[in-house]
Structure 1
C-alpha cells in the first residue's frame, strides 16, 4: 500500500473502536506503513492527520514496539501537532512510551529510547500542561512527567508548581488527576 492509498484509507477511520482497531492491526501486520502514517500525522493542518493519530494510538496500545524504528520521527514531530483531536492521541502515545520504560526497564522500548527522545517528550508534555489544551492531553502529560521525574530531578518541582497554579481553574477530571500526582510527588519528597 502506498502513502497515497493509506491516506485514502484513513478517510474511512472514524471514532468507532472497530475501525481504529482494524487499521491498527493493518499497521501491525504491515509495519512498513508506520512511516507513511507518521508522515500523514505530521501534516498537522490536514484533518486526516487526526485520523492518522487515532490509528497510531491504537497501534501503540496493541504493540508499542512497532513504533521503535520511528522514535526519531515521532519525537521530532510531536511538538507540531495542534489540532485537538490529534493532540490527545499523540499525548497518549507519549504516555504509552513512558509507561513502557518504567514498567520494564529492560524492555525493548527502555533500551531503544534515547535521552533526546525523552527530552522531546518532556518538552511536549510541559507544553501541553501550560498551553490551553483539553483535559485528556494534560492528564496524559502529567502522568508521563511524573514518571520521567524519577530520572530528572527538576521535573517534579516544576510539575507540582504547574499543577498547584492551575488547580482552581481546571475541571474535576484535571483536579482528580492532579491531586493524585501531587500526592505521589509529596510522598517521594
Structure 2
C-alpha cells in the first residue's frame, strides 16, 4: 500500500468504530505501515495526530508486538501529546504494556520504560485529565506497584484526595484500584503454608 493513500485514509477517518477497525486491520496486515502510523501519532500540531493514535490503540490491543521495536520513539514522544482525544488511547496503550508485562507475561518492559510509564501515569492523575485517561493510569500504576513498593501508597493517596473532587466514575475506578491494592498487600503478608 502506498504511504500517501494511508495518510489520506487517516486524514479522512471518522470516529466510527467500523472505520477505525478497518484501518487498524490494514496496519496489522501491512506492518510496514506501522512506522508511518507512529510518525503521524506524534505530529501533534496536525489533526491527523489524534486519529493516528486512535488506530495505534486498536493495533496495540490486537498486536502489541508491533510496538516493541519502536518503544524508544513511542515513549520519547508521549509528552508532545496534549489533546484529550489522544491522551486516552495513549494511557490505554500504557495499560496494555503494563498488563502484558505483569499479568500476561508475554512482553518484557525494560526498567527505563517502566519508569517512563510511572512518570506519565502519575502526571495524568495529578493534571486534571479526563476520567478514562486517569482510570487507565490507575490500572497501569497498580501493575507497576506490584514491583515498585512505593507506588501503591502514593497512588492510594492521590485517589483518596481526588475522589471528592472528581466524577462518580473516577470514584468507582478509584475504589476498585484501592481494593486491588489492599488484596495485593494482604496476599504479600500471608506466609507460605507448608504441606503436611
2:85 is aligned to 85
Scaled by the length of structure 2, the TM-score of the pair is: 0.89
Larger Rg, first or second structure (1 or 2):
2
- Runs of 5+ unmatched residues, structure 1: none
Conserved 8 A contact 2:20-2:55? yes
Counterparts of 1:38-187 in structure 2 under 5 Å? 38-105=38-105, 107=106, 109-110=107-108, 113-187=109-183
SS state of the match for residue 13, structure 1? Answer: coil
Q: Distance in 2 between matches of 1:136 and 1:64?
A: 20
- Runs of 5+ unmatched residues, structure 2: 186-196
Scaled by the length of structure 1, the TM-score of the pair is: 0.92
SS state of the match for residue 62, structure 2? Answer: helix
Structure 1 position 183, deviation (Å) = 1.6
Q: Distance in 2 between matches of 1:166 and 1:2?
A: 47
RMSD: 1.3
Conserved 8 A contact 1:45-1:83? no
- Matched residue count: 185
Question: 1 or 2 for the larger relative contact order (CA 8 Å, sep ≥6)?
Answer: 1
Q: Distance in 1 between matches of 2:133 and 2:3?
A: 28
